Amino acid sequence: MGTRGWYPKYGHTACVLVHTESADFIFDCGSGASKLKDHLDLGVETHILLSHFHLDHTVGLSFLLGTFRGKKLTIWGQDGVESIVRGLLSPPYFPLTIEKWPFEVEFKEIGGKQQVANATIESLPLVHINPSIGFRLTTGSKRLAYVTDTRKCENAVELARGVDLLIHEATYSEKNVIGNSHSTGKAAGEVAREAGAKKLMLIHTDAECNEKCTAEILEEARGEFSDCERAVDGMRVMI
């Protein structure tokens, strides 16, 4: 739904929808959440898993009022998720408190390994300017890892170990790195290779990164791990 970081210039900010047999999982809720209404299966459970609370990953929570009717939504996140999200979705920042929404919202704190609907969700802390967590989803024989807003770290490798698909941030090219709280394409490729992942999908490219810049990031990633693509909004992948 959204594959960029910070603000939506060349694409929406982070939001990835994963369909499984009996539940939909939404990783982060950036501006890409504006398109969820056209893609969700309202006949199954819906779970949102927030990596952290920066606005480019949470602004889409304010779009959900027009997405659901008469069903339950579960929002998962790190410690304090309920108070933080309720604060974001209350006056004066948002006109209606969650209690007045036309569907039920439940909050749950996530950590370690938990059974969620038909899937096992594992989470580990990542390395970012503010606390961020990565996820590993297993359902049946399929395994997926979602790792964003982090520099390369051991927990990223652990979450990605042997997965069918690693969705990993690649904010910068090696020559354009700013700070040390985001990954490059090269770093994402290293994580995929060291973890023995089967396929790598790059997301969360910098908001100002044009086609030339994104091509450089992809080339650097492929230098470390060949089965790699750069995600774009609207892309579908079957695993």
Specify if 236 maps to a domain.
no
Mean pLDDT value of segment 160-184: 95
Specify if 181 maps to a domain.
yes
> What pLDDT, on a 0 to 100 scale, did the predictor assign at position 108?
97
Specify if 200 maps to a domain.
yes
> What pLDDT, on a 0 to 100 scale, did the predictor assign at position 103?
92
Specify if 121 maps to a domain.
yes
Mind listing the pLDDT tens digit for each residue in 109-123?
998 899 999 999 999
Specify if 75 maps to a domain.
yes
> What pLDDT, on a 0 to 100 scale, did the predictor assign at position 70?
78
> What pLDDT, on a 0 to 100 scale, did the predictor assign at position 96?
92
> What pLDDT, on a 0 to 100 scale, did the predictor assign at position 225?
98
Specify if 237 maps to a domain.
no
Looking at the predicted structure, is the pLDDT value of residue 180 above 90?
no
Alpha helical stretches, state H, 89-210: 154-160, 185-195
Residue 56 has φ and ψ, to the nearest 5°, of -70, -5
Mind listing the pLDDT tens digit for each residue in 14-44?
999 999 998 999 999 999 999 999 999 888 9
> What pLDDT, on a 0 to 100 scale, did the predictor assign at position 57?
98
Specify if 21 maps to a domain.
yes
Measure Cα distances from 205 to 4, 9, 52, 59, 124 in Å.
5, 11, 17, 18, 22
| Pairwise CA distance, residues 161 & 194, whole Å | 8
Looking at the predicted structure, is the pLDDT value of residue 66 above 90?
no
Domain encompassing residue 152: 16-230
Say how many C-beta atoms besides its own lie within 10 A of residue 238's C-beta: 7
For the chain, give the mean pLDDT: 96
Question: Which residues, other chains included, contact 86 with Cβ-Cβ below 8 Å and sequence gap of 6+?
Answer: 97, 98
User: Taking a C-beta distance cutoff of 8 angstroms, is the pair 160, 191 a contact?
Assistant: yes
Number of domains within the chain: 1
- pLDDT class of 233 with cuts at 50, 70, 90: very high
Task: Estimate to the nearest angstrom the gap between the alpha carbon of 233 and the chain centroid.
Answer: 13
Specify if 48 maps to a domain.
yes
CATH number for position 194: 3.60.15.10
Mean pLDDT value of segment 96-116: 93
Looking at the predicted structure, is the pLDDT value of residue 68 above 90?
no
| Pairwise CA distance, residues 15 & 17, whole Å | 7
> What pLDDT, on a 0 to 100 scale, did the predictor assign at position 126?
98
